[in-house]
């Protein structure tokens, strides 16, 4: 087994004149961000131990033995393309030359009532969705379930490609909607996407599908919650179409969460010790958000600032992180799993008590943040206007 410690929170900076891009750790030298509390829900861990090892053969066999089960129980959770929504269902129709301009005017009138900070969140969500190549790559780093040929007919590979194809509509729709709204600096948004895809991500899943599917279970639920919240806020802010956009995306995320959680449930059934240790491993690392390496070429703590706005608006918060964990503990009936011994029994205790501990830690972090007082952060995405953070 090979292990290496990777410094985790690195961003690829734009090259200065006559200089190649260099890597720096933004936490070290950014005074402006120092007042932000470390937010459990969204903060990436300082360091991730990167373990690179192939899955032991007997664990790879678990996934082979589950192929038929996956074909019967997981693939049907996908929607046939013919029954799927497409971004065009929610956007002005350019082929209708009479109505097109009116539809754009209506869209812009509807979004005019939403505050700047809402757009910071919508942009951050869209950018997160648009880094989809990274997520498909990440899933294809997982032993025993990766798509070996690019068009493998194994159910794990079919799932991953179809999941990607469903997900691909999310960033596409949000991006086009944002573009037409005129509320955001689309060039800075595109730049951030380019930086993010170039930077990749480090979820700490170590080529291990047990870890990978725990991560995706958590992550799909997190996006379900955040898109659900942006839907609610769009409705309250006067844009029912945008509410439908975000709500429809949230419904996809929910289906994906159901699939991934079902896979982990099955792993708990066939290999309770291995699955319990995997859940513990991911929770000890903390679930890093997929876009934790985002950068716009300007703000060295862009992700932390975006996360702080999400916390402020209640779109995705530390409480949500604890709620998701609690939900999954219940969904997988982790407290009721009997017969575990040694490390697996300790893992069970750790995971089942973790949500409560996170809530206590967050209370203390909130208290520290309150004492440091409010401050303003500028976002390039909204033409360098400021958002106030508590």
Per the annotation, does 253 bind a ligand?
Answer: yes
Q: Which CB sits closer to Fe ion, 274 or 290?
A: 290
The residue annotated as part of the active site, out of 220, 280, 281, 323, is: 220
Q: Which CB sits closer to Fe ion, 129 or 280?
A: 129
Told to judge if 252 belongs to the known catalytic residues of this protein, a careful annotator would answer: yes
Give the range of 124-132, 146-154, 204-212, 321-329 binding Fe ion by CB under 5 A. Answer: 124-132
Contact between 125 and Fe ion by CB under 5 A: the answer reads no
Per the annotation, does 166 bind a ligand?
Answer: no
Q: Which CB sits closer to Fe ion, 13 or 258?
A: 258
Give residues 242-271 in contact with Fe ion (rule: CB under 5 A).
253, 256
Contact between 147 and Fe ion by CB under 5 A: the answer reads no
Structure tokens at 101: 């301009």
Per the annotation, does 220 bind a ligand?
Answer: yes
> Least distance from C-beta 256 to Fe ion, angstroms?
5
Told to judge if 386 belongs to the known catalytic residues of this protein, a careful annotator would answer: no
Q: Which CB sits closer to Fe ion, 167 or 239?
A: 167
Per the annotation, does 117 bind a ligand?
Answer: no
Per the annotation, does 148 bind a ligand?
Answer: no
Query: Of residues 8, 154, 169, 170, which one binds Fe ion by CB under 5 A?
Result: 170
Query: Of residues 167, 206, 296, 299, which one binds Fe ion by CB under 5 A?
Result: 167
Residue numbers at the binding site for Fe ion (CB under 5 A): 129, 167, 170, 220, 223, 253, 256
Annotated binding-site residue numbers for Fe cation: 129, 167, 170, 220, 253, 256
> Which residues carry a binding-site annotation?
129, 167, 170, 220, 253, 256
């Amino acid at each position: 087994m090979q292990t290496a410690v990777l410094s985790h929170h690195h961003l690829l900076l734009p090259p200065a004149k006559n200089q190649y891009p260099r890597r720096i750790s933004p936490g070290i030298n950014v005074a402006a961000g120092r007042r932000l509390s470390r937010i459990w829900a969204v903060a990436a861990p300082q360091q991730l131990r990167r373990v690179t090892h192939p899955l032991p053969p007997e664990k790879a066999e678990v996934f082979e033995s589950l192929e038929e089960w996956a074909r019967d129980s997981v693939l049907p959770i996908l929607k046939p393309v013919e029954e799927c929504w497409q971004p065009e269902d929610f956007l002005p129709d350019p082929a209708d030359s009479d109505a097109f301009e009116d539809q754009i005017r209506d869209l812009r009138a509807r979004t005019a009532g939403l505050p700047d900070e809402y757009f910071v969140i919508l942009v951050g969500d869209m950018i997160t969705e648009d880094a989809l190549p990274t997520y498909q790559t990440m899933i294809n780093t997982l032993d025993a379930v990766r798509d070996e040929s690019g068009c493998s007919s194994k159910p794990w590979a079919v799932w991953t490609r179809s999941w990607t194809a469903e997900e691909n509509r999310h960033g596409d729709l949000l991006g086009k909607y944002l573009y037409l709204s005129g509320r955001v600096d689309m060039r800075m948004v595109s730049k951030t996407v380019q930086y993010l895809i170039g930077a990749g991500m480090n979820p700490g899943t170590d080529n291990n599908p047990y870890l990978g599917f725990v991560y995706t279970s958590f992550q799909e639920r997190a996006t379900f919650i955040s898109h659900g919240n942006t839907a609610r806020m769009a409705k309250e802010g006067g844009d029912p179409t945008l509410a439908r956009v975000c709500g429809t995306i949230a419904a996809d995320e929910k289906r994906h969460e159901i699939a991934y959680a079902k896979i982990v449930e099955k792993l708990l059934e066939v290999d309770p010790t291995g699955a319990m240790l995997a859940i513990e491993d991911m929770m000890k690392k903390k679930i890093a958000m997929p876009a934790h390496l985002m950068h716009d070429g300007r703000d060295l703590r862009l992700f932390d600032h975006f996360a702080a706005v999400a916390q402020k608006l209640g779109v995705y918060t530390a409480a949500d992180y604890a709620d998701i964990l609690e939900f999954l503990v219940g969904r997988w009936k982790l407290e009721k799993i009997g017969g575990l011994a040694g490390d697996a029994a300790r893992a069970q205790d750790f995971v089942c008590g973790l949500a409560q501990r996170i809530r206590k830690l967050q209370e203390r972090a909130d208290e520290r943040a309150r004492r440091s007082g409010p401050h303003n952060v500028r976002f390039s995405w909204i033409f360098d206007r400021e958002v106030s953070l508590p």
